[in-house]
Every structure is written in structure tokens, then in C-alpha cells.
A and B are shown apart, each in its own frame.
Chain A
Amino acid sequence: MQHTLNAKRLLCPMPVIRTQDKIKTLTAGDVLEVVCTDPGALNDVPAWCRINGHKVLETKTVDDEVIIIIEVAE
């Protein structure tokens, strides 16, 4: 299933915390799109995914928004 998390206007580590909390409610194989405005999220959210085993499918910056697409692991 596809999900979206609005983490705009939040500064790190809040986007990471919101991502972490959202993923707890999802199941393996779900895809989560995290939308942030803090450019720090571009490093922090993928770092959190790496250490917790989730797969980052794509990261992109569109205008002032940072978008990270994650596939949830087991």
C-alpha cells in the first residue's frame, strides 16, 4: 500500500521521529512517501532507514520540498 507522511515545517529530528512512528503502523512491503521542508531530512531519514533496514527507493528535491520514498522492511 502507498502512504504519505506530511513532515513539512518540521526540523530534524522531528521528520525522523514521525517517519519512525508512521512505519511502526505499516507492514512489510508498504511504500511511504515522506514530504519534508528541512533539507537535513535528506540525510537523516535515509540514515534512519539504513540502520533500521528499510529501503530508500528514491530521494528528490522539488522546489523547497524534500521527498523520500521508503519501502518498509520486515
Chain B
Amino acid sequence: MSKQRKAVALISGGLDSLLAAKVMLEQGIHVEGINFFTGFCVEGHTHAIRKKDKAKPKRNNALWSAEQLGIKLHIIDVIEEYKDVLLNPKHGYGQNMNPCLDCKGFMVKKAVEWIKENDFDFIITGEVIGQRPMSQRRDTMPVIQKESGAGDLLLRPLCAKNLPETIPEIEGWVDREKLYDFSGRTRKPQMALAEKFGFKDYASPAGGCCFLTDKNYSDKLVDMWQHRSSRDYELDDIMMLKVGRHIRPNDNFKMIVGRELGENKFMEGYRKVYPYIHCSSHKGPLVLLDGDLKQSDVELAARIAARFGQGRDADEVEMSLTFPDGKNTVLKVKPMPSEEILKEWYV
């Protein structure tokens, strides 16, 4: 009896990885999923923060995919290791701060380590030639194989017929004829295959699973780096970039203004980390202050914060500034008129 072959599938939670894993299951391969948490994953996170998203189901699509497939999923925290990928990408960044080629290489390399530790035979991904401008091109896909160390143990079931044979195909572990030849940015073949497999409810087919591909997020990340002595970061730093309006009235400090109840509640958890301002005479948002706030900045920060509360049109409001050590100052200020809050202050 032939040996039961085992593949680990990189599961992002999107349609392609779901289909790639299903194609392997259909061929009798034992598949388990692996999902890497970099800290920049759109998955999970922010929809848990904002109150306005409360009506949406709060599911992790990677877990949901695994459940649909009936496979195990291993979620791995790579936040620390990922810093080097983001800070020093050998292949540079994409349109924003997304180091897609280095990122994919890193994830496949981690998968190579995982299959060695867990006695699996090969790796599969949902990559499709031509689908992404950086990491999924005919000339860059071999780079991932080479730099990750996966070589021919990396199989891309959705576009395998457009690529040279890999070990699972050569050895007859999988039937190449039952693999696919998808290419390009069209999603129609994937949607048709999803229908064939009976998947009706799947995550946004266009992908977009990483905040680093988002211009607004990348702008905030670059701003953070430009105003710190080091580009190093902690998870809290990159979490805060996903929350609130970011306003930098001076180089030495930035204000993070909660936009609604859910964000304010989430930001309350950071009151022991950052100084914060709130309006004590009217309802208003929580405003965290990141940086080196000087005494001369306090009134400016309070006036800006007051602008976002219900006392915005009052002649005077009472603002409370509290530091992480509990020290508190109350000051009366006139809310800043909106035209005085310069556009360039918004990050």
C-alpha cells in the first residue's frame, strides 16, 4: 500500500488557498493548514474594534476555511521574525509598504521548516501566475521556490499546469492532469471552481489580506518611522495605526482620536501606555497622545481634541489630560475651529 502523502497548505482565509487545499484533498492527500500572523493581517483584528462593524460576523476566515475543508489549522505567531522582512526587504516594497515577494518567500521558508519538523511531504499555496503584480509573476514565482528553500516541494495546484513539474507530480503523489492552469487577474475560474466544490460563502475574492498594501496604513507607518529614532516597532505600535484619526500638529507628538464608541473602548486599554485627553464638560472622543509632549503643546492638543467633541461650538470646554502615572491636569480651552486644523496635520 502506498504511503499516505501529507501536504501543508498556506491558508490566508481567501478563496485561492481554500481552493488549492480542496484540490489536494480531492486527490486523497492529507492536508493541514498553516496560517502566519505577522501583526499586519487584516484578518481578525480590526473588525473586532469598530462598533459600526458589530453586525458583521466576527470570524477568522483562515479558521473558517479550515473548518469548511475539514482540516486542522495551525496559526503561528511570526510577529518578531517578520520585522526583518518588513524593515529590510531584499526585493523592496510594492506600491505601498508591502514587501510582498520577501513576505511570500518568508512564509514558504517557515512552511519548509514546519514540514521538516512535522514529517510532511510538500507545501501547497493558492498562488496563481499573474494575479499579483509583485509576488505572483512568472519570473518571481521561481524566486520564492529558490529563496525559501522549498524548491520543487512547492506545488501551486491552481496554476501548476503553467509551471514546470514539481516533486509531488513527478513522484506521482498527485495527478498533474487534475491540477489547474489558471492565470491572470480574472477571478472567474476560481469562482467557477468554488461553485463546483459547493463553496458559496467565501472571503473577498480580490484578496487584500495585509494592511501593508493599504496606502493610508502605509502612510501612518512611514510617519511613525520618520518621527522616531528607530524603525523598530512593537505589536501595540502597529495596532494603533489601525485605529482612530491620526493628527500630527507638531513633529514631536501625534494625536490619535477615537472615531466612534468601539474605537474609544479599544483605546481605553492603552490609557496606561499613552497620555490621553478627554473632554470632561461635554461628550467627546478619547484622544491618545503619542510622542514627546511638551508643556507648550498641551493647550494646542487640548484645543484640537475639543474640536472632535460635542462641545466643538462652545466658547469654552473643560479638557482633562492624564498621564500613564495617573497625574492629571484640567484646563479650560476654546475648541479649535475646523479651518485652523491644517490638512497636512492629518496623517
B77 within 8 A of A: yes
Q: Assuming A17-B77, A20-B74, is B59 touching A43 (CB within 8 A)?
A: yes
Chain B interface main SS type? mixed
B48 and A48 within 8 A (CB): no
B48 and A38 within 8 A (CB): yes
Chain A interface main SS type? helix
B63 within 8 A of A: yes
A56 within 8 A of B: no
The docked-state distance in angstroms from the alpha carbon of A20 to that of B41 is 18
Q: How far is the CB of B78 from chain A (nearest CB, A)?
A: 10
A52 within 8 A of B: yes
**Complex contacts, A22 vs chain B, CB 8 Å:** none
B109 within 8 A of A: no
Which chain B residue lies CB-closest to A48? B63
The docked-state distance in angstroms from the alpha carbon of A40 to that of B57 is 9
Total A-B pairs in contact (CB under 8 Å)?
Answer: 69
B199 within 8 A of A: no
**Complex contacts, A40 vs chain B, CB 8 Å:** 44, 47-48, 58-60
A12 within 8 A of B: yes
A12 and B60 within 8 A (CB): yes
The docked-state distance in angstroms from the alpha carbon of A50 to that of B72 is 9
Q: How far is the CB of B267 from chain A (nearest CB, A)?
A: 12
The docked-state distance in angstroms from the alpha carbon of A73 to that of B240 is 37
The one of A11, A16, A38 that contacts B75, using a Cβ cutoff of 8 Å: A16
A16 and B63 within 8 A (CB): yes
The one of B64, B77, B269 that contacts A47, using a Cβ cutoff of 8 Å: B64
Which chain A residue lies CB-closest to B59? A43
The docked-state distance in angstroms from the alpha carbon of A33 to that of B154 is 39
Q: Assuming A11-B44, A40-B44, is B239 touching A17 (CB within 8 A)?
A: no
The docked-state distance in angstroms from the alpha carbon of A14 to that of B39 is 9
**Complex contacts, B127 vs chain A, CB 8 Å:** none
A47 and B49 within 8 A (CB): no
B97 within 8 A of A: no
Q: Which residues of A from 2 to 18 have beta carbons under 8 Å from B?
A: 9, 11-14, 16-17
Which chain A residue lies CB-closest to B46? A11
The one of A17, A39, A50 that contacts B48, using a Cβ cutoff of 8 Å: A39
**Complex contacts, B43 vs chain A, CB 8 Å:** 13
Which chain A residue lies CB-closest to B48? A40
A43 and B76 within 8 A (CB): no
Q: Contact residues of A with B, CB < 8 Å? A: 9, 11-14, 16-17, 20, 37-40, 42-44, 47-48, 50-52
Q: Contact residues of B with A, CB < 8 Å? A: 35, 37, 41, 43-45, 47-49, 57-60, 62-64, 66-67, 70-77, 239, 269
Sample 16 A-B pairs with CB under 8 A, ordered by A number. Answer: A9-B269, A11-B45, A11-B48, A11-B239, A12-B48, A13-B37, A13-B63, A17-B75, A20-B74, A44-B44, A47-B59, A47-B60, A47-B63, A51-B63, A51-B67, A51-B70
